[in-house]
Amino acid sequence: MQVPLLDLKEQYRSMKDEILQEISGLCDSQMFILGQKVETFESEIAEYCATDYACGVSSGSDALIIALMNEGIGHGDEVITTPFTFFATVGAIVRVGATPVFVDIEPDTFNIDPKLIEAEITPKTKAIMPVHLYGQCADMGAINVIAEKHGLIVVEDACQAIGAEYKGNRAGSISDYGCFSFFPSKNLGAFGDGGIVTTNSAGKCEKLKIFRNHGMFPKYYHKYIGGNFRLDALQAAVLSIKLRKLDSWSEARQHNAAEYRELFAKSAINGQVTLPVVADYTTRHIYNQFCILVADGKRDELRQGLNDAGIGCDIYYPVPLHLQECFSDMGLKVGDFPVSEKVADEILAIPIFPESTSEQREYVVKMIEKILCS
Ligand SMILES: *Cc1c(COP(=O)(O)O)cnc(C)c1O
């Protein structure tokens, strides 16, 4: 049996005619940049994320950059974030000229540990950038209390968490800015790159829309130094169609996660594998990934064994950001963020995509049992 980590072909087949018709209409119109399709999608996403406004942008990475630019965050400023995330979170901070300040993660949720944030706040701190890793929100209540006390902006990196909820509040609606990615492997994926920034502030959204178009307003008068961070009309049109199915896909992921939990409980794997923990404040986990922890240094052996058995699995992420070569001038070393380092050594994502079958999950757990228990 083959079990890919992710297979989007079935999803595409289920909506191919509708999507191709939409693309064909756009090609006939030859109107590719911003326009009605983007505006429509922006209001749909704002509604989905329970925010008042949204600004479509070119990628999740650019969503993070433009949110920081919108606040004038740059040289001499510090932004607090987690070292256990995809590179783009920290890349955005550095790209605007600011300095990332890392805070270690919670061992169970893998999200930034709010208890450790205050000790890192200095007069230079301007923002906190929590990441909702794998589809579960960070502890936003605790983070917002700290931000309010110190007058800091909060930018949610919600790239993996569209539709996730913290105490009934949607990701992207729990801070100043929510940044989303429509990279094809996210729960809502485009046919290429795309992203969006959500906010409840009319003023912030207006400014974002100027920034994404070279800081230009009105035409050929440049108010700010922005960039080309525009969302394509083609991507917006595809995403509008796919958005209608997003809840059913996220529910299928939740169903698949529940099935894994039953299968692991019935297996002999006991203790060697830790399943994803759902925090008590999490009212909706959207399982962009289902990541297990593999104890006793057996993660790499398990990964190889699963690959040999035709099962896709991957490590998100093998090297915490403070240990990346490109940040070596920050002078950080092994041992500085022990929880992130331990999780990076033990984490493994196994297939959870909506269209995967119960038979495939049974096979995955059976093979894990075989590799770890024999
Ligand atoms: C995917 C992702 C991004 C970047 O999104 P792109 O659209 O690929 O630029 C940023 N942060 C996190 C946590 C992500 O998972």
Q: CB–CB of 211/58 below 8 Å?
A: no
Q: What does the pLDDT read at residue 271?
A: 87
Q: What is the DSSP string of 114-130?
A: GGGTGGG--TTEEEEE-
Q: What is the chain's mean pLDDT, rounded?
A: 97
Residue 65 CA, ligand 1 centroid: distance in Å:
11
Q: What does the pLDDT read at residue 94?
A: 98
Name the residue with the closest Cα to ligand 1, atom 5.
60
Query: Residue 131 has what DSSP assignment?
Result: B
pTM over 0.95: yes
Q: CB–CB of 177/60 below 8 Å?
A: no
Q: What does the pLDDT read at residue 215?
A: 97
Q: Which of 164, 178, 166 is nearest to 60 (CA)?
A: 178
Average pLDDT over residues 303-312: 98
**Helix spans in the chain (H):** 9-13, 16-29, 36-48, 60-70, 87-95, 140-150, 202-211, 233-266, 299-308, 338-346, 358-373
Other C-beta atoms closer than 10 Å to the C-beta of 348 total 22
Q: CB–CB of 14/213 below 8 Å?
A: no
Chain centre to alpha carbon of residue 22: 27
- Read off the pLDDT band of 358 (50, 70, 90): very high
- Read off the pLDDT band of 237 (50, 70, 90): very high
State which of 155, 177, 181, 193 you would mutate to test the pocket of ligand 1, scoring each by most atoms of that ligand within 8 A of its C-beta. Answer: 181
Six-digit token string for 110: 């893998």
50 by Cβ neighbours in 10 Å (0-12 / 13-18 / 19+) ranks as middle
**C-alpha distance from residue 344 to each of 122, 255, 323, 328, 372 (Å):** 28, 26, 11, 18, 19
State which of 62, 64, 86 you would mutate to test the pocket of ligand 1, scoring each by most atoms of that ligand within 8 A of its C-beta. Answer: 86
Q: CB–CB of 91/61 below 8 Å?
A: yes
Query: Residue 272 has what DSSP assignment?
Result: S
Classify the C-alpha dihedral 64-65-70-76 as positive or negative. Answer: positive
Question: Which residues does residue 157 pair with via DSSP β-bridges, in sequence order?
Answer: 131, 179
Per-residue pLDDT at 194 exceeds 90 = yes
Q: Give residues with Cβ within 8 angstroms of 177, minimum separation 6.
A: 67, 70, 153, 154, 155, 156, 197, 198, 199, 204
Find the residues whose C-beta lies inside 6 A of ligand 1: 59-61, 85-86, 88-89, 131, 157, 159-160, 181, 183, 193, 195
Q: Over the stretch 269-284, which tens digit does the pLDDT of each residue have?
A: 988 999 999 999 999 9
Average pLDDT over residues 289-306: 97
- Rounded Cα gap, residues 225 and 69, in angstroms: 9
Buried b (16+ CB within 10 A) or exposed e, 179-188: bbbbbeebbb
Q: What does the pLDDT read at residue 24?
A: 97
Residue 362 CA, ligand 1 centroid: distance in Å:
30
Q: What is the DSSP string of 45-60?
A: HHHHTT-SEEEEES-H
Superfamily of domain 246-373: Aspartate Aminotransferase, domain 1 (3.90.1150.10)
- Read off the pLDDT band of 232 (50, 70, 90): very high
Average pLDDT over residues 41-63: 98
Atom of ligand 1 nearest to the CA of 85: 13
Tell me the fold of 9-103+111-243: Aspartate Aminotransferase; domain 2 (3.40.640)
Per-residue pLDDT at 325 exceeds 90 = yes
State which of 64, 85, 89 you would mutate to test the pocket of ligand 1, scoring each by most atoms of that ligand within 8 A of its C-beta. Answer: 89
- Rounded Cα gap, residues 323 and 340, in angstroms: 11
Residue 86 CA, ligand 1 centroid: distance in Å:
7
The residue extents of the domains of the chain are 9-103+111-243, 246-373
Residue 195 CA, ligand 1 centroid: distance in Å:
9
28 by Cβ neighbours in 10 Å (0-12 / 13-18 / 19+) ranks as exposed
Residue 66 CA, ligand 1 centroid: distance in Å:
14
Q: Over the stretch 100-146, which tens digit does the pLDDT of each residue have?
A: 999 999 999 999 999 999 999 999 999 999 999 999 999 999 999 99
52 by Cβ neighbours in 10 Å (0-12 / 13-18 / 19+) ranks as middle
State which of 61, 65, 111, 197 you would mutate to test the pocket of ligand 1, scoring each by most atoms of that ligand within 8 A of its C-beta. Answer: 61
Q: Radius of gyration (Cα) for the chain, nearest Å?
A: 21
Atom of ligand 1 nearest to the CA of 185: 1
Q: What does the pLDDT read at residue 374?
A: 82
Q: What does the pLDDT read at residue 44?
A: 98
Average pLDDT over residues 85-110: 98
